[in-house]
Amino acid sequence: MFRSLRKNKQAREPDGLPRHIAIIMDGNGRWAVRRAMPRTAGHAAGAEAFRRIATYCKDIGIEYLTVYAFSTENWKRSADEVSAIMGLLEKYLTEAIEKMERNQVRMRFFGDTSILQPSLRDLIARAEELSEVFSGVQVNMCINYGGRAEILRAAEAYACDIASGKTSGSLSEGDFSAYMYSSGIPDPDLIIRPGGEMRTSNFLLWQSAYSEMYYTDVLWPDFNKKELDSAILAYQSRKRRYGAV
């Protein structure tokens, strides 16, 4: 049962909020299968859950929300399922662009978008350009993203800068972070994985070194404001020592 209203309000106290929440949006397909529906229906329900949570994060004052929308491994799924996911992404971005000025949500995209369809690439570029001036929550969508691929990409970019003389051979963690898709964004304070699985699945491997993890059996389409409040309350109950005593 969800915690009391008093504690629910406590979860939304600005001083106790994580700056950056990241979510592995897992369980869409299983949600649909349990209801004797096609997996694509689960992804549509998951897209609605994302809209609700993104709006709620903006309303309570979360600064950054990063979501795992499509991984580098998701291409292994059926062509119909991949096509449905890409169609939902296009639909969401089209609607987001139309409502962008009203919602004041900044958008960035992590991952190799070069292999996506031109129509989706155009929407991604337009969403980033138009939202750059907004001051609301920043939503980072990971599309064709993998944590290992991101680290390899960063290493290759650093090697190119060494070879061209743009940088010296000295390298700190901060320097290397600047080569990540998440450059300029604080690491996630809290990573949430709905769906019952207890692994990171190649998500934000570099950035999650000291993130607090929260797992729940609730499937992503059923994840709501109360579930997010529960995750935030769990985060607030922990002491982040970063290796110290």
- In tens, the pLDDT along 62-76 reads 999 999 999 999 999
Q: What is the mean pLDDT of each run of 10 residues along the chain (245 residues)?
A: 46 77 97 97 97 96 97 96 96 94 94 97 97 93 98 97 88 95 98 97 98 98 98 94 75
What does the alpha-carbon distance between residue 90 and residue 97 come to, in Å, rounded to a whole number? 11
Q: Catalytic: 26?
A: yes
Q: Catalytic: 74?
A: yes
Beta carbons of 97 and 54 less than 8 angstroms apart: no
What does the alpha-carbon distance between residue 240 and residue 230 come to, in Å, rounded to a whole number? 18
Q: Token pair 């299968």 is at which residue?
A: 33
Question: Looking at 8, 15, 26, 187, which residue is catalytic?
Answer: 26
- Can you list the domains of the chain with their CATH numbers? 15-236 (3.40.1180.10)
- In tens, the pLDDT along 115-132 reads 999 999 999 999 999 999
| Sequence-ordered alpha helix ranges (H) in the chain | 5-11, 28-33, 39-60, 79-98, 100-103, 118-131, 147-164, 173-177, 225-236
- The whole model's pTM is what? 0.92
Question: Looking at 15, 28, 74, 224, which residue is catalytic?
Answer: 74
